[in-house]
Amino acid sequence: MMLSVTQLAPVWVVEKAAAGEAGPAYILASRLGCLFRRISVDDLALDSDLKGRRAPGLILTSGVRSGYAALRAARKAECPVVWCVRGEARTAPMLRSLPFDLVVASSAAAVAPRFCPTLGPLSIVSPHLVARAGKAWQERLEHLPHPRVAVAVGEGAFRTEEEALLNGKKLAMMVNRYGGSVLLSVRGENRRSLTDAFITGLSSAFMLVWRKGEPDEDPTLGFMACSDCVVVAGGESPMLVEACVVDVPVFLMEREQDLRGARGRIALRLIEDRHLRILKDDFVPWPRSVLDEAGRVADIMKARWAL
């Protein structure tokens, strides 16, 4: 009988992250189904965590300084090390040549033995987390008529008040066509006046509104889990990825020609893989699978190292 690396030794997570933040290495470790330990990169650089402790059986890391500290520890422990790239990666040939056992990066590049591309950034949001949020919010949202449309608004959603107003009116007309309701969560806004204009445009539809900064908990996951479709406007790429974890149609309230930069490239990959569609004149569903890149990469690691 072969013992897995996690039975022989612990999993270490080595990355620098702000308080309360889940970095990509932590997110991936949380999906392995085994216990893991967070190790400070400063302690690791001083070798203090290698003395008097069981050596690790696997190290997950992100960031340049953390990555090289993890490599030194992995050489001493003779264990594999996985490096998770933060943000969008466009230098796949260089990443494939790095001395890690596996590099995980948001990239359009092809799969290689030591390179695992993902459609977007790894997200702490999982199908299990969405299901749990749905159970928590189901009773509170029972009074809202179907079809329910969850709308998540992030920064940069609208350029002008006129555009915001017109988008709100268009969405309200589509919802009212079916006698449904809107569950709106404003998770970020560059200018409050733009969001106000969007809400004014939506005012003819039955809706529930939450804005970041209000005392209640962020209901976005609960809204999405209890809705019949999701519409995303603006926000960074993690917001797009989180929306695609839900098992309903997901629409993007933007023009395809406006999709630029790293976020635009991720959005176009999600569209190409049928996880996302540009919102036009209807909420017509299509066959799509739930997006769970962290779970997929975790399964690859489990198979490779018998975790």
What is the full DSSP assignment across 212-271?
A: TTSSSPP-HHHHHHTSSEEEEES--HHHHHHHTTSSS-EEE-S-GGG--HHHHHHHHHHH
- pLDDT confidence of 190, banded at 50, 70, 90? confident
- pLDDT confidence of 2, banded at 50, 70, 90? very low
- 277-278 vs 206-211, strand pairing mode: unpaired
Two tokens, residue 159: 């350029």
* Inter-CA distances, 269 with 27, 68, 105, 234, Å: 22, 31, 14, 16
Instruction: Report whether 89 contacts 108 (CB < 8 A).
Output: no
With a cut of 90, say whether residue 142 has pLDDT above it: yes
pLDDT tens by residue, 80-131: 999 999 888 767 677 777 899 999 999 988 898 999 999 999 999 999 999 9
What is the number of helices (H) and of strands (E) in the chain? Answer: 12, 12
- What proportion of the chain, given as a percentage, has pLDDT over 70? 93
- pLDDT confidence of 135, banded at 50, 70, 90? very high
- pLDDT confidence of 51, banded at 50, 70, 90? low
> Which has the closest alpha carbon to 121: 299, 273, 263?
263
With a cut of 80, say whether residue 42 has pLDDT above it: no
- What proportion of the chain, given as a percentage, has pLDDT over 90? 71
- pLDDT confidence of 47, banded at 50, 70, 90? low
Q: Find where tokens 């005392």 sit.
A: 215
Residue 128: CB partners within 8 Å, gap ≥ 6?
none
Backbone angles phi, psi at 14, to 5 degrees: -120, 105
- pLDDT confidence of 25, banded at 50, 70, 90? very high
With a cut of 80, say whether residue 149 has pLDDT above it: yes
Residue 12: CB partners within 8 Å, gap ≥ 6?
36, 37, 38, 39, 56, 58, 59, 60, 70, 73
Give Cα 77 to chain centroid, integer Å. Answer: 32
pLDDT tens by residue, 229-286: 999 999 999 999 999 999 999 999 998 888 999 999 999 999 999 999 999 999 999 9
Torsion of CA 94, 96, 101, 106, to 10 degrees: 90
Report pTM.
Answer: 0.89
- pLDDT confidence of 219, banded at 50, 70, 90? very high
**The predicted structure's pLDDT at residue 3:** 41
Torsion of CA 187, 193, 194, 200, to 10 degrees: 90
- pLDDT confidence of 77, banded at 50, 70, 90? confident
**The predicted structure's pLDDT at residue 17:** 73
Q: Find where tokens 């790095």 sit.
A: 98
With a cut of 80, say whether residue 44 has pLDDT above it: no
**The predicted structure's pLDDT at residue 20:** 66
What is the C-alpha R_g of the chain? Answer: 21
* Edge-to-edge strand list for the sheet holding 36-38: 36-38, 11-14, 58-62, 81-88, 102-106, 115-118
With a cut of 80, say whether residue 201 has pLDDT above it: yes
Helical residues (DSSP H) of the chain, grouped into ranges:
5-8, 24-29, 41-45, 64-77, 92-96, 127-138, 161-177, 192-202, 220-225, 237-243, 261-272, 293-305
**The predicted structure's pLDDT at residue 52:** 58
